[in-house]
């Protein structure tokens, strides 16, 4: 029988802190009964909430921390003042000490990345971590990375992103060989900056197992779900993420305005309100949380404004990453990519001659 998955929770993270974290963990426990929790936070706040869920309390340990990272803290400030004493740091450190298998936090994204990178380090030979988001599409969902961890990147970094995204897709979508595309200004091979074109040549020549390189994809392919994994560097990825979130809010407001022009439309809105809210949530890429890839440990970022159900989804995402051995799959595929790089580079040189 498989052992329990141990999940460390930053109970003070996010807009609502333990009032979302605790009931979210209780929901996740019902669906994943083979989990145990380590909660880090103010015991005066977390303790009474935990006591309201006896099943969760029986499978949890609460560790008191007197410091919580604020959502407004700069990463450098959070790392300086919250290192070793904050709920966020101690939850991450539980993974480093092998007391937990993964960490989930809805806290400050920049601070979480800074602390996670400082505490866990990146797995060799990856130099720069990434944030992967589950992106709603007309086909269901795709994975998009990087959505803001690091700015810029050469062809090696883009290849690493492709490999890590494919490893995650194998778990999330339960497919052996997910399709991977490089986000570009056009689908033609001659278009785009040199780093993207070089990454495309490497991925096409490498013909890696457990991944099908699709080629270049454009911005409008994101909503269509043209591939399972969309790859881009963090500057472009974060702009795409914020644009999608803004579009979801814009559409919701347009619909609300359109349904308030007459008495009949207002009555219709009352009946459709829940459906419209569900639509807005579904269109938001952050609703399901994100995964920090490239670190020597599993780190899940829940949305800062997540409700209990969404937070439970982030916990379950972490559970799946651990149970299906995300880190092992990344290491395996990175080794395959590294072995193929010289061949890919040689093939490109020969073609140029």
- 190 pLDDT band (50/70/90 cuts)? confident
pLDDT digits (tens, 9 = 90+) for 108-160: 999 999 999 999 999 988 888 999 998 888 888 899 998 988 888 899 999 99
Class of domain 133-285+325-353 as given by CATH:
alpha beta
Q: Region 233-253: what's the mean pLDDT?
A: 82
**The pLDDT value given to residue 148:** 87
Q: What mean pLDDT value characterizes the chain?
A: 86
- Per-residue confidence at 348, pLDDT binned at 50, 70, 90? very low
| Confidence at residue 143, expressed as pLDDT on a 0 to 100 scale | 94
Residues 115 and 103: their CA atoms lie apart, in Å, by 12
Give the percent of the chain with pLDDT over 90. Answer: 55
- Under the banding of pLDDT at 50, 70 and 90, the label for residue 352 is very low
Say how many C-beta atoms besides its own lie within 10 A of residue 48's C-beta: 11
Q: Give SS3 for 64.
A: strand
- What pLDDT score does 265 carry? 66
Q: How far is residue 109's CA from residue 129's CA, in Å, rounded to a whole number?
A: 13
In the β-sheet with 102-105, what is the strand arrangement from edge to edge?
Answer: 60-64, 35-41, 5-10, 102-105, 298-301, 290-293, 130-137, 140-145, 229-231, 179-183, 212-217
For 259-316, how does the pLDDT look when each residue is reduced to its tens digit (9 = 90+)? 666 766 666 666 666 666 665 565 555 556 789 999 999 999 998 888 899 899 999 9
Q: Which two tokens stand for residue 164?
A: 């890590």
CA-angle at 158, arms to 134 and 207, nearest 5°: 95
Dihedral pair phi/psi, residue 300, rounded to 5°: -115, 130
Query: CA angle at residue 301 from 300 to 304, to 5 degrees?
Result: 150
Determine the Cα–Cα distance for residues 19 and 27; give it in Å rounded to an integer.
Answer: 13
Q: What does the pLDDT look like over 10-29, one tens digit per residue? A: 999 999 999 999 999 999 99
**In angstroms, what CA-CA distances link 182 with 125, 243, 295, 307?**
21, 19, 22, 33
pLDDT of 23 reads 96
Q: Give yes or no for residue 169 having a pLDDT over 50.
A: yes
**Which one of 3.40.190.10, 3.40.720.10, 3.40.718.10, 3.30.590.10 gives the CATH number of domain 1-120?**
3.40.718.10
The pLDDT assigned to 277 comes to: 64
Is residue 144 within 8 A of residue 166, CB to CB? The reply is no
By the 8 A CB rule, do 39 and 60 touch? yes
pLDDT of 84 reads 84
Is residue 170 over pLDDT 80?
yes
6-15, 44-53, 246-255: range with lowest mean pLDDT:
246-255
Does position 351 have pLDDT exceeding 50, yes or no? no
Whether 349 shows a pLDDT value over 60: the answer reads no
Q: Which pTM does this prediction carry?
A: 0.85
First to last CA, the chain: 57
Q: Is the pLDDT of residue 185 over 70?
A: yes
Q: Identify each DSSP E strand in the chain by its residue range.
A: 5-10, 35-41, 60-64, 102-105, 130-137, 140-145, 179-183, 212-217, 229-231, 290-293, 298-301
CA dihedral defined by 300, 303, 309, 312, rounded to 10 degrees?
10
Question: Is residue 51 over pLDDT 70?
Answer: yes
Tokens 């959502």, located at residue: 71
With contact defined as beta carbons under 8 Å apart, do 211 and 227 qualify? Answer: no
Percent of the chain with pLDDT over 70: 86
- Model confidence band, residue 1 (pLDDT cutoffs 50, 70, 90): very low
**For the chain, domain boundaries:** 1-120, 133-285+325-353
**Phi–psi pair at 231, nearest 5 degrees:** -115, 130
The CA distance from 163 to 330, in Å, is: 7
């Amino acid at each position: 029988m498989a052992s329990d998955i141990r999940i460390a929770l930053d109970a003070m993270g996010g807009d609502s802190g333990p009032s979302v974290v605790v009931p979210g963990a209780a929901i996740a426990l019902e669906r994943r009964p083979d989990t145990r929790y380590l909660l880090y936070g103010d015991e005066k706040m977390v303790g009474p909430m935990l006591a309201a869920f006896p099943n969760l309390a029986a499978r949890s340990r609460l560790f008191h921390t007197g410091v919580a990272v604020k959502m407004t803290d700069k990463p450098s400030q959070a790392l300086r003042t919250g290192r070793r004493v904050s709920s966020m740091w101690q939850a991450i450190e539980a993974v480093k000490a092998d007391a937990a298998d993964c960490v989930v936090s809805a806290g400050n994204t920049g601070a979480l990345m800074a602390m996670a990178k400082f505490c866990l380090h990146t797995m060799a030979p990856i130099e720069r971590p990434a944030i992967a988001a589950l992106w709603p599409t007309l086909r269901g969902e795709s994975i998009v990375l990087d959505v803001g961890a690091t700015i810029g990147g050469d062809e090696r970094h883009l290849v690493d992103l492709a490999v890590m995204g494919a490893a995650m897709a194998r778990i999330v979508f339960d497919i052996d060989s997910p399709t991977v595309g490089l986000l570009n200004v056009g689908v033609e091979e001659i278009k785009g900056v040199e780093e993207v074109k070089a990454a495309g040549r490497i991925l096409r020549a490498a013909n890696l197992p457990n991944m099908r390189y699709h080629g270049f994809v454009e911005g409008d392919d994101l909503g269509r779900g043209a591939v399972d994994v969309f790859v881009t560097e963090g500057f472009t990825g974060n702009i795409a993420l914020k644009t999608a979130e803004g579009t979801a809010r814009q559409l919701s407001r347009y619909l609300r305005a359109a349904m308030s022009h007459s008495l009949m439309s207002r009555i219709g809105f009352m009946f459709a309100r829940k459906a419209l809210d569900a639509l807005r949530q579904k269109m938001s890429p952050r609703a399901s949380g994100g995964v920090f890839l490239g670190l020597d440990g599993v780190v899940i970022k829940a949305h800062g404004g997540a409700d209990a159900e969404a937070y439970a989804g982030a916990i379950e995402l972490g559970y799946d990453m651990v149970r299906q051995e995300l880190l092992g799959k990344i290491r395996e595929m990175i080794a395959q990519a590294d072995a193929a790089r010289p061949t890919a580079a040689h093939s490109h040189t020969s073609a140029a001659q």
